[in-house]
Amino acid sequence: MLITGVSSGIGRELARQLARRARTLVLVARSGERLDALREELLALNPTLGVWVEQCDLSQPEHVDTLLDSLRRNLIRVDVLVNNAGMGDYGLYEQESWPRIHQMVQANMTAPLLLTRRLVRRMVERKRGGILNIGSGGGSAFVPGLAVYAATQRFLDGFTEALRLELLGTGVVVTQVAPGPVDTGGDEAAQPPEGPLAAWLRIPVARCASEALAGFERAEPLVYPGRAHRWMMRLAALLPRRTKRAVWLPAARRLRYGTAQLGPAHPESAPGLLLAGGPGNVRDEA
């Protein structure tokens, strides 16, 4: 079982919970120090667990190839792949640096594609396995300040849904998790400003991980951790695009001008309550 982005947040909690039920874990993150600390923690609680750590910057495709070659040389077979690592930034698109944009695209899109491409074929041959993709509820929202991040999450959503259909009947399970606000203990990347409902939607990271794994074990196609977030996402799916634009327009104005009430009303600026205030899983764990 291979898990990316385990240095903090949801990835680290997934590793902790999976350590109680897996025989071997392959832990991948950029920080070698955090990898070693997590390895020691897991072995202290589960002495018979096999733990293999790989320090890897997933925003560099050549590093992904090196990771996979290392697994092959050491005869490590991956039955379950957890694509959790990701990166996110908050700000106006024209002010983002291109290297950072490219890094996000590589980490959030290219890395899951490469890992899945190299590992899923053997799963199909063995007629068993699983792909668990950790995305974000922000992928289906119109979030000003997160244009690139939201775009990468929509890509992951489309990829996961199509891949699931392709693999039906092969014995390989494909599940996507789209969290809302998650309390990670403050050890993740800086979060964007949150809307008035964020505190109501927020859940502990342990609950997020446990609901994600429970949905994966039930072979669910899409998991929204947290009851309030789940109902909010189902409601949002019923809203027309025009309404969604109106809902997020005040946030866009605040981002651009520092206020939501500058200038004449836009045709799509009908009053609306900010539903969630940004994705719950903007992380920096590539």
The CATH class that applies to domain 2-239 reads alpha beta
pLDDT of 145 reads 93
Intervals of the chain under pLDDT 50: 190, 262-279
- For the chain, domain boundaries: 2-239
Catalytic pick among 90, 93, 149, 257: 149
| Amino acid 198: pLDDT | 74
Q: What is the pLDDT of residues 49-106, one digit of tens each?
A: 999 999 999 999 999 999 999 999 999 999 999 999 999 889 999 999 999 999 999 9
Active site residue 224: no
**pLDDT, position 7:** 92
pTM across the whole model: 0.88
Give the 3-state DSSP-derived string for the chain, with helices as H, strands as E and coil as C: CEEECCCCHHHHHHHHHHCCCCCEEEEEECCHHHHHHHHHHHHHHCCCCEEEEEECCCCCHHHHHHHHHHHHHCCCCCCEEEECCCCCCCCCHHHCCHHHHHHHHHHHHHHHHHHHHHHHHHHHHHCCEEEEEECCHHHHCCCCCCHHHHHHHHHHHHHHHHHHHHHCCCCEEEEEECCCCEECCCCCCCCCCCCCCHHHHCEEHHHHHHHHHHHHHCCCCEECCCHHHHHHHHHHCCCCHHHHHHHHHHHHHHHHHCCCCCCCCCCCCCCCCCCCCCCCCCCCCC
